[in-house]
Structures are given as C-alpha cells and as structure tokens.
Amino acid sequence: MFDNYLEDVKKQFAYYKQLGEKTFAQLDDDKALFWQFNEASNSIAIIVQHLWGNMLSRWTNFLTEDGEKPWRQRDLEFESVITSREEMMRKWEEGWQCLFEALDSIKEEHYNQLVYIRNQGHTLVEAINRQLAHYAYHIGQLVFLGKMLKDNDWQSLTIPKGQSASFNQEKFAQQKSRGHFTDDLKK
C-alpha cells in the first residue's frame, strides 16, 4: 500500500511542478516574474526562491537530519534575490530534483521511521503530505499571479472555464478504468 502512496504522491508533486512551469511559459515578459502587488506581497520569483529553500532544507538527508537545516536562510527567501529567469529556473529545477531524489530513496525499511521538522516528529506520510500541501499552496499563488498578469490572454491549465460539462460528458462516455487524475491532463 505504501508503494502505491509513493507512486501517487510523486505524480501529484510532478503535477504541481507542471502547473508552475506552464505558468512560467505563459509569461513571456520576464518583468512579470518580478512583479509585486505591493511591498508586502511576493513576486513569482520570490515564491520560487522560497520553494527552493524549503525543498533543499526539507529533502536533503530528510531521513537522517531535521528538515529545518541550520544553513537555511528562510528570511532571505522572501527577498528579491533572484535576478533573471535563468536563475529562477535553475533554482526551480534544483529544488524539485532534490525532492524527487529523496522520494526515490525511500525503501520499505523507512516506512515506520519518524522524520523531524524543527524537532517535531512526523510519520513519513505526514512529512510528505505536509510538503505536498505546502507546495500546492504556493503553486496556486504562482498560477494566480500568472493569471492576473496575463489577464484575458491567460490559457487555462486544466479544464477551461465554461467547459466542465463537455469535459465530464467526454469522461463519462468512456468505460470505467483505473488511473491517476494526472494521466490525461493537458500536457
């Protein structure tokens, strides 16, 4: 059962990574990546900086070390540190690579191991779910910012507004089958 959970959670992390990347792809004006509503708000680049810092901290040696590493500079993650799309994408990829390598390292003997974050013990599932929810929260912010910045030129990342009925009609016209909700989403 845990193997099925790991497979599922990897697909969900990949789905959220894809949503972020589809958002970046629609923002052809690099200035949009650094736009902030106000001083208290985060830009897309700042959100990526925070995700990167969190991912490296949580997933580096996550089975043997606390997820809040002493070298992490969390407050700096919310400053305008990233200066280019290329730098942002390098950090984006580095964070996700760290996450997926950590998930790939899980073996059956780890299933009952506690994972610590700021000295608080989590089951492996709790620790993974905590990060999945955290990243989904921030990817949602990225998508929302992208949608606001593109305005009427925004291309829906999932089921376009007003097309739920036709999407459902197509789905229910098919035979019931086992699958993951990400298997047939728009690539």
pLDDT in tens, the chain (187 residues): 778 999 999 999 999 999 999 999 999 889 999 999 999 999 999 999 999 999 999 999 999 999 999 999 999 999 999 999 999 999 999 999 999 999 999 999 999 999 999 999 999 999 999 999 999 999 999 999 999 999 999 999 988 888 889 888 888 888 888 878 877 665 5
Q: How far apart are CA 54 and CA 138, in angstroms?
A: 11
| pLDDT on residue 178 | 84
Alpha helices in the chain (DSSP H): 2-26, 44-59, 85-104, 124-150, 164-172
The DSSP symbol for 182 reads T
Report whether 113 contacts 124 (CB < 8 A): yes
Which SS3 state, helix, strand or coil, does residue 121 take? strand
Q: Give me the pLDDT at residue 160, please.
A: 84
In this prediction, residue 166 carries a pLDDT of 87
Predicted confidence at residue 44, as pLDDT, reads 98
pLDDT of residue 185: 64
Q: What pLDDT was estimated at residue 10?
A: 97
The model's pTM: 0.93
Distance of CA 48 to the CA centre of its chain: 9
Q: Which domains does the chain have, with CATH numbers?
A: 2-157 (1.20.120.450)
Check if the beta carbon of residue 42 is closer than 8 Å to that of residue 82.
no
